[in-house]
Structure 1
Amino acid sequence: MKGKVAVMSEPMKMEVHEYEIPEPEKGAIVLNVSRTNVCGSELHIWKGEHPTKKKGVLGHEMVGTVYKLGENVTTDYAARPINEGDRIAAVYFLTCRKCNFCRRGNFPLCEKALTFWGKGPEEFPHFHGTFGSHYYVHPDQYFYKVPDNVPDIAAASANCALSQVYFGLDKSGLSYGDSVVIQGAGGLGLNAAAVAKEKGAKVIIIDAVESRLEMAKQFGADHVINLKQYDTVEKRAEAVRELTDRVGADLGIELSGVPAAFSEGIHLIRSGGKYVTIGNVSTGKYTDFDPGLLTRKSIQIIPIVRYDPWYLDKALTFLSKNINKYPFIKMMDGVFEFSSIQEALDRSVSREVTRASIVMEASEIVTL
Structure 2
Amino acid sequence: MTERETGRLAYLAEPKRLELKEYPVPEAEPGAVVTEVEQANVCGSELHIWGGHHPQVKEGVLGHEALCRIKELGEGVETDYAGEPVEVGDRIAPVYYITCRRCPACLVGEFHLCENAYRYWSKPPEEPPHFHGTFATHYYVHPDQYFYKVPEDLPTNIAAGANCALSQVLFGFDEVGVGYDDTVVVQGAGGLGLNAIAVATERGAETIVVEGVDGRIDRAREFGADHVVDFREYDSVEARAERVRELTDGRGADVGVEVAGVPAAFSEGIHLLRHGGRYLEMGNVSPGQMTEFDPGLLTRKSIDITSAVRYNPWYLHKALSFLTDHHEAYPYADLIDAEFDLVDVSEALQKSENREVTRAKLIPHAHD
Q: TM-score, normalised by structure 1?
A: 0.97
Matches of 2:329 and 2:365, distance apart in 1:
28
Residues 47-97 of structure 1, C-alpha deviations (whole Å, 9 max, x = no match): 122234332211100001001100000000110000000000010111122
Q: Is the 8 A contact 1:183 1:189 kept in 2?
A: yes
Residues 145-170 of structure 1, C-alpha deviations (whole Å, 9 max, x = no match): 11112111111110010000011011
CA RMSD of aligned residues (A): 1.3
Unaligned runs of 5+ in 1: 364-368
Match of 2:192 in 1: 188
Shift of 1:254: 0.5
2:282 to 262, 278, 282: 278
Match of 1:204 in 2: 208
Matches of 1:62 and 1:335, distance apart in 2:
14
Shift of 1:324: 1.1
Match of 1:230 in 2: 234
Residue 306 of structure 1 aligns to a residue whose secondary structure is: coil
Task: Give the counterpart letter for 1:184 in structure 2.
Answer: G
* Correspondence 1:337 to 2:336: no
Regions of 4+ moved over 2 Å? 50-55, 360-363
Match of 1:252 in 2: 256
Residues 36-56 of structure 1, C-alpha deviations (whole Å, 9 max, x = no match): 111111111211222343322
Match of 2:134 in 1: 130
Match of 1:360 in 2: 364
Q: Is the 8 A contact 2:57 2:121 kept in 1?
A: no
* Correspondence 1:43 to 2:53: no
* Correspondence 1:76 to 2:65: no
1:301 to 279, 298, 305: 305
Task: Give the counterpart letter for 2:125 in structure 1.
Answer: P
Task: Give the counterpart letter for 1:128 in structure 2.
Answer: H
* Correspondence 1:241 to 2:255: no
Residues 5-64 of structure 1, C-alpha deviations (whole Å, 9 max, x = no match): 011122112110000001111110011000011111111121122234332211100001
Task: Give the counterpart letter for 2:268 in structure 1.
Answer: E
Match of 2:33 in 1: 29
Match of 1:366 in 2: none
Unaligned runs of 5+ in 2: none
Q: Decide whether aligned partners of structure 1 residues 52 and 76 sit closer, same or farther in structure 2, where only a CA change above 3 A counts.
A: closer
Shift of 1:354: 2.1
Residues 191-240 of structure 1, C-alpha deviations (whole Å, 9 max, x = no match): 11101100000011111211111111121211112121111111111111
Matches of 2:366 and 2:33, distance apart in 1:
25
Match of 1:67 in 2: 71
1:218 to 201, 210, 222: 222
Task: Give the counterpart letter for 2:52 in structure 1.
Answer: G
Residue 346 of structure 1 aligns to a residue whose secondary structure is: helix
Q: Is the 8 A contact 1:210 1:226 kept in 2?
A: no
Residue 239 of structure 1 aligns to a residue whose secondary structure is: helix
Residue 229 of structure 2 aligns to a residue whose secondary structure is: strand
Matches of 2:52 and 2:175, distance apart in 1:
31
Residue 287 of structure 1 aligns to a residue whose secondary structure is: coil
Matches of 2:246 and 2:188, distance apart in 1:
20
Task: Give the counterpart letter for 1:66 in structure 2.
Answer: I
Task: Give the counterpart letter for 1:169 in structure 2.
Answer: F
Match of 2:168 in 1: 164
Matches of 1:69 and 1:316, distance apart in 2:
22
Q: Which range is displaced more, 331-340 or 295-304?
A: 331-340
Task: Give the counterpart letter for 2:45 in structure 1.
Answer: S
Residue 224 of structure 1 aligns to a residue whose secondary structure is: strand
1:261 to 260, 265, 268: 265
Q: Is the 8 A contact 2:137 2:365 kept in 1?
A: no
Match of 2:20 in 1: 16
How many residue pairs match? The answer is: 364
Residue 67 of structure 2 aligns to a residue whose secondary structure is: strand
Residues 101-135 of structure 1, C-alpha deviations (whole Å, 9 max, x = no match): 11111110111111111201011110111000000
Kindly, what percent of the aligned residue pairs are identical?
58
Matches of 2:364 and 2:133, distance apart in 1:
14
Task: Give the counterpart letter for 1:69 in structure 2.
Answer: L
